[in-house]
Structure 1
Amino acid sequence: MFVRVSVVAAAAAFLLTASCAAADPVGLQKGDRVVFLGDSITQAAVGKSGYITQLKATLTEKHGVELVGAGISGNKVPDIQKRLDKDVLAKKPSVVVVYIGINDVWHGENDPSRGTSKERFDEGLRDVVGRIKASGARVVLCTPTVIGEKKAGGNKLDARLDEYAGISRKVAADTGSKLCDLRKAFVDHLAKNNPDNKASGVLTTDAVHLNEAGNRLVAETILGVLTK
């Protein structure tokens, strides 16, 4: 359940004109039920300036769809597999936006057993997408964003994130899902808007979790996939 949050007219107008790097729209229809599936980034997105809050007014009022959140802190792909039926498919969504991968990479930084191997990430994503599509819902698959905001290659886990983003892109292509390339959107934005090469503070609060600008960029990018 979402508490209705008013969004200022300027933010709504910005989102209505937003574009997206992904080429294939998902084709929202009136009456669609949209579920956002992810981790703590998604969980926080229903907050005052969160990306789901920013999307809600536009999608519900302009497009006549219902939004349902399903982010739980700490989630990785194996966790999503375990809770998919209860927390997502039971809501009978017609569109599921999957934004996952940060914890699969990050949690394995010092202890690989706490992360998700590339093979397991690939297999798990395919399982999640397959089960969603088997339920009759369409899938938007997002690439993981950033763990650190320095220029590309300047953050410790950039190479790993690029590999996992590549897996997400391949799974989207192989399964006929809509790709929302959030990693590309973040890297491109930071290349232009982080001249001091800061580790955080441009799009995130702590190098991972989104600040207001990061939430706006995610909302902008996802909106383009859902509506363009």
Structure 2
Amino acid sequence: MSHSASKKSKTIVFFGDSITEFGVLPGGYLQVLNEMLAQNGIAPITCLGAGISGNKIYDLYFRLEEDVLRKNPALVVILIGVNDVWHKVLHGTGTDAEKFEKFYKVILNQLKAANIPVVLCTIISIGEKIQGQNPQDADIDLYNGIIRNLAITYQHPLCDLRKAALDFIIKNNTANVDRGFLTKDGVHLNETGNRIVAENILQNITQIPGLL
């Protein structure tokens, strides 16, 4: 039986890297989101984390079948890209922009073929200084531009976590430090960051027709 032919569960798969892997822990954005869903009286729905630390876009491609398609979810939320950018400097690896876009398209095409709705999320941050003052801000803008264009091309909702992060940083990071407001280390979310991510994702998923 094809993925699109079988009845979908009330499951949302959150597909990503360490930000999502840590999101299932106490205080993580998935835990916070579950609490928000309950508080809003939304019908029971399973938020399933499928994040692995260090993953890049091509890692998601290679585990798409096992970690997403086999679960036949009602929705997939993709939050990926920070390692594709960050690891260029951190480990001398990363993913160039052209390959990032190509792998992302293959993933979206397979999800489309399975008739699974998708929400795309922008990369949040690599450093929390004011926009343009973190070393990899230009690359983040480039890769987020790709994600935004894919959301338009494939007509998927965009959860613009980057915009939410920048709005918060401009308002609160008056000392212009590189961490501590939304993240512990410039990348991985702290309590405030997890809450803001959960709030923004909730706004998006409640707009998906027939999901809740």
Q: TM-score, normalised by structure 2?
A: 0.89
Residues 1:208 and 2:187 aligned together: yes
1:153 to 132, 135, 138: 132
- Deviation of 1:82 after TM superposition, in Å, equals 0.4
Number of residue pairs the alignment of both structures matches: 198
* Residue equivalent to 2:44: 64
* Residue equivalent to 2:88: 108
Q: Contact (CA 8 Å) 2:9, 2:73: kept in 1 or not? A: no
2:155 to 160, 176, 187: 176
Deviating above 6 A after TM superposition, structure 1's stretches of 4 or more consecutive aligned residues are: none
- Structure 1 counterpart SS, 2:51: coil
* Residue equivalent to 2:12: 34
Structure 1, unaligned stretches of length 5 or more? 1-29
2:167 to 183, 188, 202: 188
Change (3 A) 1:111 1:58: closer
Q: Deviations over 1:167-216 (max 9, x none)?
A: 00001110111111111111111011100101100000001100000001
Q: Contact (CA 8 Å) 2:85, 2:95: kept in 1 or not? A: yes
Give the Cα separation in 2 of the matches to 1:144 and 1:227: 21
Amino acid paired to 1:167: I
* Residue equivalent to 2:4: none
Q: Deviations over 1:101-159 (max 9, x none)?
A: 100000112665x1111001111111111111211210000010100000000100000
Give the Cα separation in 2 of the matches to 1:172 and 1:123: 14
* Residue equivalent to 1:123: 102
Residues 1:80 and 2:60 aligned together: yes
Q: TM-score, normalised by structure 1?
A: 0.83
- Structure 2 counterpart SS, 1:37: strand
Higher relative contact order (CA 8 A, sep 6+): 1
Structure 2, unaligned stretches of length 5 or more? 1-7, 208-212
Q: Contact (CA 8 Å) 1:31, 1:64: kept in 2 or not? A: no
- Deviation of 1:31 after TM superposition, in Å, equals 5.5
Amino acid paired to 1:152: Q
Q: Contact (CA 8 Å) 2:20, 2:49: kept in 1 or not? A: yes
